Amino acid sequence: MEYFELYNGVRIPAVGTGTNTFGRDDEDLKSVPTGNFKPMYTALEAGYELFDTAISYGNEEGIGECLKTVAPDRSKLFILGKIPNRAPYNCDRDSIRKSVGDSMKNLNIEYFDLFLIHQPVDYKAAAEGKSMDVETTVNLYRALEELYREGVLRAIGVANFNEDQLTVLMNEVETVPMANQFRSNPAARNRPLVEFCKENKILPIAHSPMNFTAGAFRVDEVKAADYRKIAGMVGSRYGKSWAQVLLRYNYQLGICSIPKSHIYEFQKQNLDIFDFELSRGDMECLY
């Protein structure tokens, strides 16, 4: 495993695993959970240290059960959590502290290695065209700062914030976010945001590193196949798959990635990206 370092000195694995559909048998976050946590067990077996969790994935208890059963050395794990920026979680200091406490209890952990505000604005407000409820978001972040100072959260940050939203937040709070998690893949490179984060010592974390057919910048399957083909052609020069090439691309740009697979072979493959280096020409070809 290779690591990046957050600006407060906390080391974070350069690749972790997403968990959003663990406990389900499909990719639909709204489907009824089946309780199938086999991918969580195989991810632990494959050697993952970083687990990207969130209250809104609705599967923390199942993940916590796996952690309790396997009981890996906690100091070798990196548990990332997220709080939704909406009621009933973000209402006030008490509800925020309760949400973080409940989340840790469900996951069977006593601290988070990194904890993020899941989005700058709740979905309903976003649908109404609102960018960010500054007061609510700042209060939410300040409550996380308090938990950071208490040592319950080893690091804090945000997810899905753009440059303007980060700027507004940074002007209001003491602690610059240590990380920002956002979509970063060939369909949505978000390179200006990556650069902005780096200029401010904020670690970019790529969610959906190979999921091109979802989210705001989604493309159709034909275009997605095209991205896979280009990355696959590059990969053939190194004996690597298209997925490994995309993860390596992020790594070389200083971006942490949290790919998710339900398949053990793919889980292992996604960790196996540290024994080759993409040439400058290949990096350009992948942009």
Separation of alpha carbons 166 and 170, rounded Å: 6
The answer to the question of residue 180 lying near ligand NAP (CB under 6 A) is no
Q: Considering the complex, state which of residue 136 and residue 267 has its C-beta at the smaller distance from ligand NAP.
A: 267
Binding mask 111-140 for ligand NAP (x = CB under 6 A): -------x----------------------
Separation of alpha carbons 95 and 189, rounded Å: 35
The answer to the question of residue 60 lying near ligand NAP (CB under 6 A) is no
The answer to the question of residue 87 lying near ligand NAP (CB under 6 A) is no
List 20, 99, 108, 137, residue binding ligand NAP (CB under 6 A): 20
247: helix, strand or coil: helix
Alpha-carbon distances of 260 from 16, 94, 232, 266, rounded to whole Å: 8, 33, 19, 9
- Cis-peptide, bond into residue 84, ω within 30° of zero: no
Q: Considering the complex, state which of residue 108 and residue 261 has its C-beta at the smaller distance from ligand NAP.
A: 261
Contact 143, 96 (CB under 8 A): yes
Q: Considering the complex, state which of residue 92 and residue 261 has its C-beta at the smaller distance from ligand NAP.
A: 261
The answer to the question of residue 211 lying near ligand NAP (CB under 6 A) is yes
Q: Judging by DSSP bridges, how do beta strands 11-13 and 3-5 pair with one another?
A: antiparallel
Catalytic residue set: 57
Q: Which residues bind ligand NAP (CB under 6 A)?
A: 18-20, 52, 118, 159-160, 181, 207-211, 241, 243, 258-263, 266, 269-270
